[in-house]
Amino acid sequence: MEAAIHLRAIDWLILGIYFLFVLGMGVVLRRRIHSSEDFFLSGRSIPAWVAGLAFLSANLGAQELIGMAASGAKYGMATSHFYWVGAIPAMVFLALFMMPFYYGSRARSVPEYLRLRFDEKTRGFNALSFCAMTVLSSGISMYAMGLLLNLLLGWDFSLGIWLCAGIVLVYILLGGLTSAIYNEVVQFFLIVFGFAPLVMLGLHDVGGWSGLRAGLARVALAHGFGAGAWSESWAYLGSTALNPMGVERFGLVMGLGFVLSFGYWCTDFLTIQRAMAADSLSAARRAPLIATLPKMLFPFLVILPGMIAVALTQGAGSSAFALPNKPDGSPNFDLVIPTLLGHYFPAGLLGLGLTALIASFMSGMAGNVTAFNTVWTNDIYQPYLRPGAGDRHYLWMGRVATVGGVLLSLAAAYLAAAFNNIMDVLQLVFAFINAPLFATFLLGMFWQRANGNGAFYGLLAGTVAAALHHGMTLPAHAVVGVKGGWLAIEHHYPSEMAQNFWTAIIAWTSCFVVTIIVSLAGRPPAPGSLVGLVRSATPRIDAGAKPWWQRPEFLAALAIAAVVALNIVFF
């Protein structure tokens, strides 16, 4: 494919400096890797502010940036709910109520916490499903990067993903989680400085916020919706027929705001691993709260470009711009960011924007791979395949698992090509795995009566229920296959995202109910075994002599007040 843009020497220089920097960081940090805990959890030595930025940046992979921009084009301002409803409340809950159990139990992973709280089979089930999820998520990042390099530079899709995967593999092998964390902090600042000019240039082109609203009104009317359907966040959620996402308020709040949101932020080891690497319990609790402020502002960096792109395609603005189409004629929303970069950025700035995107890809992939190698080694290999080996052996296996995780992720990259919005497939994966898992954790941490059999069969029931629902439903205009309908077509949803929300609701509810029923039918856990694992059986945390403005509760109150204000302003 012919390159859509041609990089100048300054652009290649910026990109080359970044590659050398991340590889050099791996070489330097290699000296700190002396044990498996150093490799998997950074020796629990990361400061709170670094852990907080890494906590946020681990979720800022290419699927976040490209996927959320795609969703901004496809669904409009309602995409902000993935941040203001679908992230901040769950991050606050994690910090206040769940991090004390994760960090205080000294578990090395989320599945290991399940073993301590429930039993071995529950740990094993979650470890296998989590490994599958990380491979799929990493594959989505690779797919997004392949699209980027193909469109912008004309590189072959496979060449691009194999090259960048190789760089990620090297610096994780050298520096482990510590290398990934510090690269994620660098990536955070690259994204801010690389994407802010793109938003400003796009807004100027469409005539500011008022011009964007006028352009989005034309988009909405062209699709048969009300004028504000693409520019309002809540006003058009009274019915599934009134908004492009095809959801109503209950489906959004319950499916995204509760099940998917809490299921991801409170149970996904990919992000929790960053907080668990903090140097104290206080730092581990503050890490998610530190991440809330930039998280709630990121819609203005990643969603607005999608809204600008769809408005420009409809004819808004003074410059000629149009989103490219897929072979079937539908808009390729995943190419919003790459196309805008090529359209607006001059030499130098283009290199910075491209580097920010590549950094997001590599960071997202590295986050998934470091989570995969930890869970594989500590929760599958050590207990089931090679128990009792020395620490040096498990450190070696962690590096072997890193290679395996990268190779499996490469295979998963080609699956993502079936969707025209990678955020759709990502939320589908979360609906299958994180949604039932959150029900297990909610009962496990707050109900002493929940037992191992209840947790295991609840997780199994939730996963099966998700598969049945997905297999019997289909989004509108979709063909039977990876998007559903492979058992029968009993119901059509207006969009993939609406189907995902209800898949998550059904999975969570099934797991919650089955866990309660099976637990009540069996023996309760021994009360003494729950200290440090269940809230009601654990002494409250002493805040010590810290002033009130440094306590997690104060930071949490600020985050909630700010996100409520944002929802009101953009109602």
pLDDT at position 300 over 80 = yes
CA distance 550 to 552: 7
**What is the SS3 assignment for 82-108?**
HHHCCCHHHHHHHHHHHHHHHHHCCCC
Alpha carbons within 13 angstroms on the beta-carbon side of residue 102 total 30
pLDDT at position 419 over 90 = no
Average pLDDT value for the chain: 85
Write the CATH number for 346: 1.20.1730.10
Q: Which of 180-194, 440-454, 543-557 has the lowest mean pLDDT?
A: 543-557
Higher pLDDT residue, 262 or 67?
262
pLDDT value of position 83: 92
pLDDT at position 319 over 80 = no
pLDDT value of position 390: 87
Question: 33 lies in a domain?
Answer: no
Question: 547 lies in a domain?
Answer: no
Give 3-state DSSP helix, strand, coil % of the chain, rounded to 5. Answer: 75, 0, 25
CB 498 within 8 A of CB 245: yes
Burial tier of 477 (Cβ tally within 10 Å: 0-12, 13-18, 19+):
exposed
pLDDT value of position 317: 61
The predicted-structure confidence for 57-76, as pLDDT tens digits, reads as follows 877 776 678 778 888 888 88
Higher pLDDT residue, 385 or 571?
385
pLDDT value of position 4: 57
Question: 80 lies in a domain?
Answer: yes
pLDDT value of position 457: 96
Joined together, the tokens standing for residue 230 give 């693409």
**Residue type for 239, please?**
S
The predicted-structure confidence for 204-232, as pLDDT tens digits, reads as follows 988 888 888 988 888 888 888 888 888 88
Most trustworthy range by pLDDT among 139-148, 288-297, 541-550: 288-297
DSSP letter assigned to residue 414: T
- The count of structural domains within the chain is 1
Q: Which residues are bridge partners to 481 per DSSP? A: 484
pLDDT value of position 416: 66
User: Strand 491-493 relative to strand 473-475: parallel, antiparallel, unpaired?
Assistant: parallel
Burial tier of 239 (Cβ tally within 10 Å: 0-12, 13-18, 19+):
exposed
pLDDT band at 426 (very low <50, low <70, confident <90, very high): confident
Q: Span 120-132, mean pLDDT?
A: 90
State the pTM of this model: 0.83
Question: 444 lies in a domain?
Answer: no
Question: 414 lies in a domain?
Answer: yes
Question: 269 lies in a domain?
Answer: yes
- The residue range of the domain holding 278 is 9-23+48-425
CA 303, 304, 305, 306 dihedral sign is positive
Question: 245 lies in a domain?
Answer: yes
Question: 260 lies in a domain?
Answer: yes
Q: What percent of the chain has pLDDT over 70?
A: 95
